[in-house]
Structure 1
Amino acid sequence: MHKTEFKVRDYECDMQGIVNNAVYFNYLEHARHEFLASRQIDFAALAKAEVNLVVVRAELDYKASLTSGDQFYITTQYQPVSRLRFGFKQQVWRSRDQKLMLDAFITGTAVNASGKPFLPSELQLLLD
């Protein structure tokens, strides 16, 4: 399991003073990129090699709201889904009280230069 730490910035909050729901997608994506980097998988290098990792489904269960200045972390775990799809179990935890704020499952695949889904061997080997 990989852990990525964050702090809520003022501009990520809406008029209610809570983190806007769409901002969580950015948090989760950054944590997935950090997870990949921790396994020596360079997202940008893959894209240059015409291997595009894409999200095909996002399931987010909001449990509570983060507010400005909250420190939190995201745990990320890889979970195989099928021959061509992979998943990431991700959870957002508020640091001060270890409260679960969001529970998510993100499903992705890799798409080659012609737009066809595939799972490159380097991903399969590193993510198993």
Structure 2
Amino acid sequence: MSHHTFTRITTTQTPLSFPAVVASHMLPHRLPPPSRRCRRLACNSSKGGKGMVRFHAIELQVREYELDQFGIVNNAVYANYCETSMFQVFYMIGFSDETLPTLLESSYKFISPLRKRDRFLIKGRIYECSPARLYFENFIFRLPNKELILENKATAVFLDKSSHPLRLPPFVKSRIDELNKSDKQHLL
């Protein structure tokens, strides 16, 4: 005979202490920052942006544990896909695990769901950089027909030990310029 040990877990429900809808008079009244508060770095001298010219691509397949009860990829999993793409771009630029930037914000536009065993392509790049921030864009496409599934925009920063933003390391601009130059030569 086998003996099974069962653990009893008890939970208590606590009432929510915050309002479900925030009244507009409770929001802070701050003006948005000026659009040109600090000088932008010219991360790319070519036409079309101040970031990477070409996208970095990763091909993956939906795994069983990424599905929700309806058999489609859970919305939270798309954040993992986009972060995977961003980290691959970071490593390509030359960041190590100790010097990776921190994700500041990320927004998603869901267009169509991925399902069990779907193969898909994530394309990501830095499309702009400022003295203290890197701006990413990621796109997810279902294969083989390259149907657009998701669009993502994200911002990353470097933080010091006190969680204050730091300027980008000097090698970032030169490394992005190198990658763009090699991409242009490759295309010629």
- Normalization by structure 1: what TM-score? 0.87
Structure 1 residue identity aligned to 2:138: Q
Map 1:1-128 onto structure 2 (within 5 A): 1-42=55-96, 44-46=97-99, 52-118=100-166, 119-128=168-177
| Distance in 2 of aligned mates of 1:117 and 1:64 | 35
| Distance in 1 of aligned mates of 2:159 and 2:82 | 20
Which is higher, the Rg of structure 1 or of structure 2? 2
Query: Where in structure 1 are there 5+ consecutive unaligned residues?
Result: 47-51
After TM superposition, give the deviation of residue 41 of structure 1 in Å: 2.3
Which range moves more in the overlay, 31-40 or 97-106?
Answer: 31-40
Runs of 4+ in structure 1 displaced over 6 angstroms?
none
Q: Which structure has greater strand proportion?
A: 1
Highest relative contact order (Cα 8 Å, sep 6+), 1 or 2? 1
- Normalization by structure 2: what TM-score? 0.61
Query: Where in structure 2 are there 5+ consecutive unaligned residues?
Result: 1-54, 178-188
The RMSD of aligned alpha carbons is 1.5
Quickly say closer, same or farther: Cα 1:11–1:64, change in 2 above 3 A: same
Aligned to 2:113, what secondary structure does the other structure show? coil
| Distance in 2 of aligned mates of 1:125 and 1:117 | 21
Question: Identity across aligned pairs (percent)?
Answer: 28
